[in-house]
Amino acid sequence: MPESSSRRRWLLRSLQASIAATLAAVFYPVVRFLRPREATSSGAQEVVAPYRPSELKPDAGRGPRPFNFGGKPCLLVLSPDGEKRLAEGQKLLDGDVKAFNAICTHLDCTVEYRPEKADIFCNCHNGVYDLNGTNISGPPPRPLEAYKVTLRGTAKPGETAKPGQEEIIVSRTT
Amino acid sequence: MRRFSRNVLCAVLLAAPVAVAASPAAEKKVPSKPAAEKKTAAKPAEPENQCILCHGDADLWEGDRRRLYVTVKDLAGDIHWEKGLRCQDCHGGNARAADIKEAPHALEDGFRSLRSIRKDTQSKDYANPPEPVRVVDLCGNCHADIDFMRRYNPSPRVDQLREYWTSGHGQRLKETGDPNVATCVSCHHKPHGSGLDTAKHAVRPVADLASPVYRTHVAETCATKCHANQELMAGRKYHDRPLGHDQYAEWGKSVHAEALLKKGDLSAPTCNNCHGNHGALPPQVGSVANACGACHGKVASLFADTVMKHQFEKLELPGCAACHGKHDVVKPTDEMLGMGGGAFCVKCHPEEENQKGHYGATIAGAETARALHADLDDLDQAIRDAKATIAKAERLGMPLPGPPSDPNLDLALYLRKAFDSQTNARVLIHSFKLPPVEASLKEGLEIASEVQQVAEGALQEYDSRRIWLAASLAPILLVILLLVLYIRTLPPSR
Amino acid sequence: MSPAPPNDRPDATGRWGRLKAFFFERLGLEDLRALAAKKRVPIHQTTIFYFLGGMALFLFAIQVITGALLSLYYKPSPDQAFESVRAIMTEVDYGWLIRSIHSWSANLLIGVIFLHLLTTYIMRAYRAPREITWITGVLLLVVFLAFGFSGYLLPWNELSFFATKVGTAIVGAVPLVGEQLLLLARSGKEVTGDTLARFYSLHVVILPVATFAILGVHLFLVQKHGMSIPDRVAERRGGADKVPSMPFVPDFLVRDMVGWYLALGILAVLAALYPWELALKADPMASTPEGTKPEWYFLFMFQTLRATPAEVWGIENDVLVVLFFAFVGLVVLLVPFLDGGAPRGRTRQVFNVLVVAAVIFFIVMTAWGLLE
């Protein structure tokens, strides 16, 4: 009898241990699941652009590449007013930077910003848009989809960014 | 006292929502829409216009004189009527004459002195057919006079008449007086049974949606009465080439028709974009590339520098249309390039060393064509594979990291660059040279293979899931085993 | 001579012992323990059927947990639903696991409930005094089918959107109140974001509350009346009290746990090797694709509808099929009252034939629906 009861106790203990192990195997993914993830690329409604307005200047070379916004490429351009303000070292206003869906409305190529010509150009069939995204020459049938842009002083409270170093926040208009 | 205040509180709480719901503020006002204004309602006949009194009376015009029955309704939407022109401005006569005897077209004279598009109004034959040249003269009388047109439009076009006489229609009319040739009213007036227009005497402005020459209706107008009519087109030639009657059907199959009619892209070309409006003529062999190049600028300029262009001109082949078709321009595929079945290059270029090509087409050209096709195919396949692998990984729920060059970038977005380079390459092939095409393709290939690697890596992650599975099944099976053993140690039931 | 039952009661000494004693006193757990100790489960040929109820409960618990976890990331609006599920599958750690378990477990749960219904019928466990247990059980079946239907729409992919469209359209076939029911179900005339919000609320709030209420009554009644013993078994032993039994704790519970762990293992295999698909995002403007069908547990009804000609005796087939299944449902609900008679009575035999026919009908229709 003592043998069988000690056997049972041993069984019970190992049972409890292995049940605990299974619970751990269950809880591990659950705990990982609960950890918040980085802001995702898809379905995003708002994103902070990886560029600052000063990188959009004509003399900064070719305009920076479109970045990912909600799974689509997003292009940033500097308006003529913005260029002026930047040159004079003044603070930029929201309308000085514009953001567009960089997919050409003709045959879906990716457009590029040409700061030296103050236009947006599609290399595939020589489509040209102006800095408001309106199609002005070539085959594109519709203007580029525009996004809303807000400029923010800085992420740190109590500080204001230098002109040209503001954060560009792009969000959907709907 | 406590019970009383409790009752009051209950009553207030119950009454409040009822009071709010019943208050006028809760009533919603539905705004009433203003009645839509009828733009095309024709103005009623003024006392200065007595023509309508007779010509608008249905009982007077029977049989073959029915064509003289015109009411104000028939003029609804007519741009001339809207601008204030009246019957006499085109047809002459005295519109104020209330008494028919005073009107210059008095009964005895049989209204002969009026201008009409009918031939020979001097004869007593009522059923005489319309004479096209009269139409042209009638319309051109005003529309070619800048001093007159300026009154209605500060910067008018007045060259339509001159253009017309240079067109295929105008030349034929001048030379042969063919009564079936198109004139102003053929396109601007009669809707050819399309059901567009109920006003039979109205000439609408081009921008009017019901006009037979509104952009989306142009091809139908050219075709339905004339150019798709087999009997009418039989035997007609332009410079020894038969006109044929299949252009409309062919155009209907094209991407241009799809863009214009289905996608509503008003910039897509219809008959007049390539053939001209009033000066309608087929483009010359050397000008086809310019017609296409009006929109496809980059391709046309690349083509203009090639040997092919000059060869084509010499051979009287119609430039772009030699490969892409004249009217049935469909979406081009990679199969059109190269020496395989379905390709155009093979029609002239020889396939093997010893064969002779047509028109001096070289074997070197054939090699170039083959190489171009193969390169395009490679990239297409690489992109397709990468896309499929990404889709598979997503379907299985594997997380996809970014490409090594920019780990934060979304992988599918990165692949777009390969797609861009593919489109660019497909444009560059019109230079019919390998180096620029290969340069464009190289970037695309690199990107596609990078993406493929990353996606495959993600798929391999899938294997790590099986390891997780095995790792979690082990304790589960162990527990089951131990439970069974434990059950065996339990005393049997009573 | 059988050995004395083991003494597993913990000591009231030591840290754990004192902690346990603390909770026992405060929460009155001693009564619960006494109740549990008294509960016994009869042993006979069909004892295995007794496990199905507990299995359903276990799977339901899994649904609640995984469902709660999913609701931490899911966004119930048409432009975000699909993307949020996609994010769960591809971006959240082990999101694929939680979601796939939730989807697979849902199907397993409904299957188990069907089996539970069938086996309680076979054992005639609905006889007095267990009529209300049966009724609450049938209600629970309806609730869980509603869970399945509402949950199916939530990923907002092509398949689920159109299956919902077709499914709610059939609801509209109920005579007299059909249109009102359709408007109620769809929260409008068409399947839109409003429908999604309504289904989400149903799935996450209303149905769970209903479940807890009805399940509470169901479980309470099961405890109150104990496990039912089939007539034949009682006869053979010479009386219900002479049927051998095992204590619920630990014997039956431990066997229950074996089943639960098996289910867990099966779910893990299914989730890892056959993860639930994302498919394509729904496009409400598109036309219903060919081959739109509901999930397998509704397939037999759907296939019946497809198989009947458009008009029978002047009545549209939707109305006819809906009424037919409503009638069948009513019969199922009222089985305890329709068959209260003797064990081998005429009604019982008729019902047995009907049940066999129903099961065959279910299997044939489901198979046919899957193959078409």
What are the boundaries of each domain within chain B?
39-128, 130-282, 358-489
Q: How far is CA C191 from CA C166, C291, C297, in A?
A: 10, 19, 21
User: Would you say the C-alpha torsion C312, C318, C320, C325 has a positive or negative sign?
Assistant: positive
- Give the residue, A1 or C276, on which the prediction is more confident: C276
Beta carbons of B282 and B244 less than 8 angstroms apart? no
CB-CB under 8 Å, B490 with C268: no
Q: What is the largest CA-CA distance in chain C?
A: 79
Contacts of C255 in chain B (CB under 8 A): 483, 487
The rounded distance, in Å, linking the Cα atoms of B383 and B251 is 32
Interface of C with A in 256-285 (CB under 8 A): 261, 264
What are the boundaries of each domain within chain C?
44-287
ipTM over 0.85: no
Residue B24 predicted with pLDDT over 70: no
User: Which range, A33-42, A147-156, C2-11, C29-38, has the best average confidence (pLDDT)?
Assistant: C29-38
Q: Provide the 10 A C-beta neighbour count for residue B150.
A: 12
The rounded distance, in Å, linking the Cα atoms of C122 and B296 is 77
Give residue-wise pLDDT tens across range C164-173: 998 898 888 8
CB-CB under 8 Å, A141 with B410: no
Give residue-wise pLDDT tens across range B185-235: 888 886 544 444 456 678 888 888 888 888 888 888 888 878 888 888 888
Q: State the helix-helix crossing angle for C296-307 and C131-153, rounded to 10 degrees.
A: 90
User: CA triplet C310, C316, C318: central angle to 5 degrees?
Assistant: 90
pLDDT of residue B76: 77
A135's tokens: 């199609």
Beta carbons of B421 and B375 less than 8 angstroms apart? no
Closest partner residue to C245 (CB to CB) among B465, B472, B493 is B493
A155's CB contacts (< 8 A; 6+ apart) are A167
Distance from CA of A16 to the nearest CA of B (A): 9
Q: What is the mean pLDDT of residues B252-272?
A: 86
Which of B247-261, B396-410, B459-473, C220-234 is the least confident region?
A: B396-410
Residue B356 predicted with pLDDT over 70: yes
In the block, which residue shows the tokens 């308006």?
A: A79
Q: Is A34 on the interface with C (CB under 8 A)?
A: yes
Q: Is the previous residue joined to C250 through a cis bond, with omega within 30 degrees of 0?
A: yes
A75's CB contacts (< 8 A; 6+ apart) are A63, A66, A99, A100, A101, A102, A111, A112, A113, A120, A144
pLDDT of residue B37: 35
Give residue-wise pLDDT tens across range B368-391: 888 889 989 999 999 999 999 888
SS3 (DSSP) at A77: strand
- Give the residue, B251 or B470, on which the prediction is more confident: B251
Alpha helices (H) along B204-293: 218-222, 230-233, 247-252, 255-257, 271-275, 288-293
Query: pTM above 0.90?
Result: no
Q: Which of B221, B223, B227, B256 is nearest to B242 (CA)?
A: B227
Which of B299-303, B314-318, B481-485, C69-73 is the least confident region?
A: B314-318
Give residue-wise pLDDT tens across range B266-281: 778 898 888 888 888 8
The rounded distance, in Å, linking the Cα atoms of B421 and B447 is 10
The rounded distance, in Å, linking the Cα atoms of B420 and B441 is 10
What b/e string do you get for B213-247 counting C-beta neighbours within 10 Å, with b at 16 or more?
bbbebbbbbbbbbbbbeeeebeebeeeeeebebeb
Interface of A with C in 42-81 (CB under 8 A): 42-43
Q: What is the mean pLDDT of residues B298-309?
A: 85
Q: How far is CA A95 from CA A46, A83, A129, A132, B29, in A?
A: 17, 11, 18, 10, 37
pLDDT of residue A155: 57
SS3 (DSSP) at B272: helix
Residue from B390, B392, B396, B477 to probe the interface with C (highest C Cβ count within 10 Å): B396
Q: Is the previous residue joined to C129 through a cis bond, with omega within 30 degrees of 0?
A: yes
Superfamily of domain C44-287: Cytochrome Bc1 Complex; Chain C (1.20.810.10)
Residue from B416, B428, B447, B467 to probe the interface with A (highest A Cβ count within 10 Å): B416
Contacts of C70 in chain B (CB under 8 A): none
Q: What is the mean pLDDT of residues B335-339?
A: 85
